Structure 1
Amino acid sequence: MSPQTPQCAVILCRISDARDEDTTGVDDQERHCRALADRLGWKVWRVIVENDVSAYKRRKIQLPDGSYGLRTFRPGLRDAITWLTTGEADGLIAYDLDRAVRDPRDLEDLIDAVEMRKPRPPVESVTGSLRLANDADITMARVMVAVANKASRDTGRRVANARLRMATNGEYGGGIRPFGFHKDGVTVEPAEAAEIVRATEALLAGSSLRFVTKSVNAAGVRTSRGKEWTTMELRQMLMRPRNAGLAVYRGEIVGRASWPAIVPEESWRALVALLTDPARRTSPGNKARWLGSGLYRCGGCGRPVVCSLSGGRRAVYRCRPTRGETRQPGQHVVRVAIPLDKFVEELVIERLSRPDAVDLLVQDQREDVAPLHDQAVALRARLDEQAILHADGVIDARQYATGSSRIRSQLEEIESRISAASQGSVFAGVVDTDDPPATWKGLDLGRKRALLDALMTVTILPAGRGRAPDGSYFDPTSVKIEPKR
């Protein structure tokens, strides 16, 4: 019998694999643990639930002393050990030893917490496999955890090898249903695939990720779990190699997959390059809110202008020196934003509405990517040959590293050309519609800015004082338009 009857016992429930946030496993554990507490006469103070949490897998974390080490990530267990150490809790119940700990270091921390208190806080389990009442119990727990840890390592190795084999063969490795595919992970779901194509094309054409996410949610499209999209979730989904029919193992592309590509590989690579570009502005504070901000140029110094609120709370365009530079000499311009944007917008719409506007799509055709793909395949094959030669001892590590580095450099250049050649036409879905002006009005600001940048250069010239002949303060002759197309 325990030397004391806990009045503030903690129940620890854990399961390592819970699909779709299913809590059935931990709910059953809690019910059995409460029944044991009732039989023992213990009073339950806290219930810790670690659902879908591994007791074996470790991650690199920063330790209290500032150094880094590999530890299991078990916040719930850490709380329980702390409460036992401080005396806030005076007993622990788990369903089984495996449910409580599978890492020897975690067990030793639990043993320390028990042995530091006098009298020892009792630790029990429903199955009887976890008891730390004396030296024999502790020794048995250490042996059982060591055996369980080895079993986890063996299982992890077998699973990893199986997943690598499946990925190399282009097979689906299972998991949560991927958006765009049916539950088998191979058969394309047409409606969801169409959304992936639309979102990819919109982003490559200049739309913002925020706007595309809003449009997808407004259309009633939901994730494979039935939830609304966040910008981060949509970004991650669109960057999946599986969308291009590529199989992945531990973040590395290992070959073609058994399922069809939803988007061409070159379009996918272009999208990844776009969304991972360090120069891409993602901070809400740096996001352009006006049509010409950063695009229009000052007629005095030639610098891009930005839009800001003037003293009268009017939005105006003005040039600013970059950080660390002094303002260049010359006549700089300041121009009220709204009438200028309206004027430029009318010019853009007029250009998009011309009968020859569809020719802009033809002008956007870029380098033929078919030969580039052939070169990329050949380079990847050479990388595989290098690995085989090194494994067979034909070349040493230095030769392998030098050769691989050169091949990878060539491959990166080819993939960069594929991405550049696969950027979607900014004019697609605008000039080829029945009503380009109406289409323009429905575009987000990012897409409008991309169209403006592709069509013309706008320079703001110094303007005279007073009203124009028509009574307005805006003078169209003070704006220089240089067509690019």
Structure 2
Amino acid sequence: MPISPNAVLAIYARITIDRFGRREGVEVQERYGRGYGADVFPDLPIEVFADNNITAADPNVERPEFERLRRWLKDGMIAQIWSIEQFRLVRQELEWFRFAVELDAAGITEIHTRREGIIRVDDDVASIRAVLGAGEVRRVKKRVNDRNLDNAMRGLPPGSVPFGYRHHRPPVGTRTYAIVPEQAEALQWAADMILNCGWSTERCAQELRSRGMHGPKRRKVIDPETKEPVIDLATGEPVTRPSKLTAQMLRNALISPSIAGLRVYRKEIVGKGNWEAILSEETRQRLCAHFNAPRDVLMPNGRMYPVAPMDRTGRTRRRYLLTGGMAVCGVCNARLVASLKQKKGKESIPYYSCHPKVGGRGCVGIDGTKLEEYVVEQMFEELAKPGRLDAFLRDDHADRRKELADELSTIENRRTELAQMWGARELGTEEWRIMKRGLDEDEVRLRSELAMTPPPPDGFDAAALKDPRAWGSMELLEQRAFLELFVKSVTVKRATPPYGRFEPERIAIEWI
């Protein structure tokens, strides 16, 4: 392809480290390139292509400025290319061969560098250098992966810092996480409100933000006009601000294995970390099961929202006590829905009906307020029966939950022993993997059983269960959770003449 008369000297810069271990930023590389251009190609205008903090070792990572350089080559807009070294342009051997073809098609026969002099594109040395560079990339990755695996098996924390912790290196010993007290208290409070009071993560996050709580990371302040980071004139560093604590951020923190003191490597729990847990593993598993199950949550606006496992967006819709399948039609067995209904000459009232939109046939309808009041009244009469409340408060699954927790602790201890044997070379890598696979399978089985084991009957005071006056102080979701402890279903039968009156005989309650 003919080179345009307006072609430029292309300077490609990407952050690097020189042979003395010093970092060379793109600004330094650009300065070197402009000096070289002024000496060797004084008549060529200069265009800079800079990919800052973007690796070339991973072929799946896109480098926007390198792609722009290739487009300019294709269009004949580049007369010469300068880079600090060949590896700044390409790092993979296959990528080099493709790029060499593009250079040849564009009429570029040489690449000018600071460290390696002039590299001829068709020279075998350039190809050999590309192969050697790619091999070094693979060896470095393997060394890094081996070191990361060893750190994980020893229970050392990774480089990232989860919410609730900070990096800590004691005077004696290895690095670890230290608990940030205010963040840990916030996580413990949020776990309690979600599991025992039915709060949504959004409501918890909103409450924590009102207390001045921020996210674990800081964000750069962006100038709204230039769209560039604001720079502190005194330090020369970008100005940052605390990040916003969002519902998704809070949810991720609550279900992270790190919060229970567990070490994760490549998305798998490999053992116990060397830091203190903020939540117990049992609580974390309950949170995971809670987030993955259909549920009703209390939103910041005070309304209820039904959440399905794959549906976590939309508006809050549920506003009634017995919807969601608890109240059913006594004729066709379809679940009843509730809405406001305008009575003749009267105000609108809540009204439960068997509606075709949920599979009903319009069989029954009933005053919602009177139905709910009757069910609540019957529930407290049921609780007043001798022995009924004691049976509820008895925890029949406490022993099994403890057994499961002990077995999980045994697995974690066994992992630690295997890691120590592997580190002492008493155990080969393949032997360790086989044993680890067996422990992983046992852990999955135990955690699944733990998630399915009913939690202890907490979240309600025994006195509140005996006192109907406590009902009025509860929020709607708390009332629903209270009711679901004892009521399996409420069946509404057809009305009988004279119509328009409330008939308790129509209502059949099935107790748990």
Closer, same or farther: CA 100–371 of 1 in aligned 2, 3 Å = same
**Take 1:306 and 1:461, find their aligned partners in 2: how far apart are those partners?**
15
Shift of 1:196: 1.6
Pair 1:440-2:459 in alignment: no
**Take 1:264 and 1:270, find their aligned partners in 2: how far apart are those partners?**
10
CA contact (8 A) 1:123 1:131 kept: yes
CA contact (8 A) 2:100 2:122 kept: no
Pair 1:103-2:92 in alignment: yes
SS in 2 for 1:105: helix
Shift of 1:36: 5.2
CA contact (8 A) 2:379 2:486 kept: no
Closer, same or farther: CA 294–50 of 1 in aligned 2, 3 Å = farther
Closer, same or farther: CA 376–213 of 1 in aligned 2, 3 Å = same
Shift of 1:263: 0.5
Closer, same or farther: CA 231–106 of 1 in aligned 2, 3 Å = farther
**Take 1:91 and 1:424, find their aligned partners in 2: how far apart are those partners?**
73
What is aligned with 1:258?
A: 274
Letter in 2 for 1:271: L
Task: Name the Cα RMSD after superposition.
Answer: 5.2
What is aligned with 1:209?
A: 201
Pair 1:374-2:406 in alignment: yes
What is aligned with 2:215?
A: 223
2:108 pairs, out of 120, 126, 132, with 120
Give 5+ residue unaligned stretches, structure 1: 18-22, 59-70, 470-474
CA contact (8 A) 1:180 1:188 kept: yes
What is aligned with 1:135?
A: 122
Q: How does 1:66-465 map to 2 (within 5 A)?
A: 71-87=60-76, 92-117=81-106, 119-120=107-108, 123-125=111-113, 127-129=114-116, 133-136=120-123, 139-173=124-158, 175-184=159-168, 185-205=176-196, 206-225=198-217, 226-276=242-292, 280-285=309-314, 288-291=317-320, 292-300=322-330, 301-306=332-337, 317-319=352-354, 327=359, 332-334=363-365, 339=369, 343=373, 362-363=393-394, 366-368=397-399, 369-377=401-409, 411-421=443-453, 423=455, 427=459, 440-441=474-475, 449-456=480-487, 457-462=489-494
Give CA deviations for 1:281-318 in whole Å, capped at 9, x if unaligned.
43424965334441432233333334579999998654
**Take 1:466 and 1:10, find their aligned partners in 2: how far apart are those partners?**
92
TM-score between the two structures when normalised by the length of structure 1: 0.69
Further displaced range: 198-207 or 187-196: 198-207
CA contact (8 A) 1:8 1:89 kept: yes
CA contact (8 A) 2:492 2:506 kept: yes
1:49 pairs, out of 35, 48, 51, with 51
SS in 2 for 1:228: coil
**Take 2:16 and 2:191, find their aligned partners in 1: how far apart are those partners?**
35
Closer, same or farther: CA 133–370 of 1 in aligned 2, 3 Å = same
Shift of 1:104: 1.6
Shift of 1:164: 1.5
Bigger radius of gyration? 2
Letter in 2 for 1:239: I
SS in 2 for 1:418: helix
Give 5+ residue unaligned stretches, structure 2: 18-22, 169-175, 218-241, 295-307
**Take 1:423 and 1:90, find their aligned partners in 2: how far apart are those partners?**
72
**Take 1:411 and 1:459, find their aligned partners in 2: how far apart are those partners?**
42
What is aligned with 1:20?
A: none
Closer, same or farther: CA 431–5 of 1 in aligned 2, 3 Å = farther
CA contact (8 A) 2:354 2:360 kept: no
SS in 2 for 1:183: strand
Shift of 1:262: 0.7
Shift of 1:194: 1.2
SS in 1 for 2:167: coil
Closer, same or farther: CA 328–439 of 1 in aligned 2, 3 Å = closer
SS in 2 for 1:284: coil
**Take 1:130 and 1:336, find their aligned partners in 2: how far apart are those partners?**
89
Closer, same or farther: CA 85–427 of 1 in aligned 2, 3 Å = same
What is aligned with 1:67?
A: none
Number of aligned pairs? 438
**Take 2:71 and 2:185, find their aligned partners in 1: how far apart are those partners?**
52
Closer, same or farther: CA 9–455 of 1 in aligned 2, 3 Å = farther
TM-score between the two structures when normalised by the length of structure 2: 0.66
Closer, same or farther: CA 305–82 of 1 in aligned 2, 3 Å = farther
SS in 1 for 2:309: coil
**Take 2:437 and 2:160, find their aligned partners in 1: how far apart are those partners?**
35
SS in 2 for 1:416: helix
